[in-house]
Amino acid sequence: MLTKPDLETASALLFKTWNEKKRLVELPVALKPSSREEAYRIQALLENRTQFPLFGWKIAATSVAGQAHIGVSGPLAGRILHERVFQPGAAISLDGNLMRVAEVEFAFRLGRDIVPRVVPYKMEEVLEHVETLHPAIEIPDSRYSDFVHAGECQLIADNACAHQFMLGESTQVDWRNINLAGFQVRVVVRKDGKDDIRTGVGSNVLGDPRIALTWIANELSALGIALKAGQTITTGTCLTPIDVAPGDEVYADYGALGSISARFTS
């Protein structure tokens, strides 16, 4: 079991590695978390390293393929730091980014706190706390040089590969009466002046983005963590992560739900 100084040392090492755009092979043996709960305790110390309130949360590995790719048993929750959030259409630097992928996602902003409790939340209860739905693009990364084999505890400690995030404008239609599981998103990836058209679907996100939202509410509730009003939760990519390089553009059209675009630089 890691002591409080161990947890702090592990968190400081990961944060320093992140800020310096460097990589670890793995955490030192004496600092490796042995359980998901211990890993989340390391991750939680990130909130002491920012001067801003927590912007929100991300969910990693919300598809079977994604879980298999990084060798985890299920989804992982990570924190989105205010300093790493970009406005729609902004240019995002890939400097130091190992993964170099963009993920097109559904994001929910809360209007009310979701507080920890013993009884698991049902999806209908969680949705009562949601204020708005947004298109979003996540640009993940890891502090490990071989994140594919790092294991879920090290990945959770590494903030579930959270890095950069872009939140689109809130949708103005009645999204609560739309089947988000079956909802398709048309994505245009422009590389060297040529368009590559792709399609994502909400069911790739744990079967439904609303199911993913409910998952994180209960994951955090079990850890005694509240989701706060004003926080944004992005629920995982609705299509295979898109390889990006400097000069590329990604435009995601959610139809009636809106759109979002990002440009990538070196």
Tell which CATH architecture fits domain 52-265: Alpha-Beta Complex (3.90)
Task: List the domain boundaries for the chain.
Answer: 52-265
Q: Burial, 259: exposed, middle or buried (Cβ in 10 Å; 0-12, 13-18, 19+)?
A: middle
Task: Show the low-confidence residues of the chain (pLDDT under 70).
Answer: none
Q: Give 185's strand partners.
A: 200
In which residue are the tokens 């890891």 written? 142
Which tokens is 139 given?
């640009």
CB 202 within 8 A of CB 208: yes
CB 234 within 8 A of CB 216: no
Q: What pLDDT, on a 0 to 100 scale, did the predictor assign at position 83? A: 97
Which tokens is 99 given?
């993964």
Q: What pLDDT, on a 0 to 100 scale, did the predictor assign at position 47? A: 97
Q: What pLDDT, on a 0 to 100 scale, did the predictor assign at position 184? A: 98
Query: From start to end of the chain, where are the E strands?
Result: 56-60, 76-80, 85-86, 91-93, 101-110, 130-139, 164-167, 184-191, 194-201, 232-237, 242-243, 249-253, 259-265
Q: What pLDDT, on a 0 to 100 scale, did the predictor assign at position 211? A: 98
pLDDT, one tens digit per residue, over 80-126 is 999 999 999 999 999 999 999 999 999 999 999 999 999 999 999 99
Q: What pLDDT, on a 0 to 100 scale, did the predictor assign at position 53? A: 97
Residue 96's region, left for phi above 0, alpha for psi from -120 to 50, else beta, is: left
Q: What pLDDT, on a 0 to 100 scale, did the predictor assign at position 90? A: 97
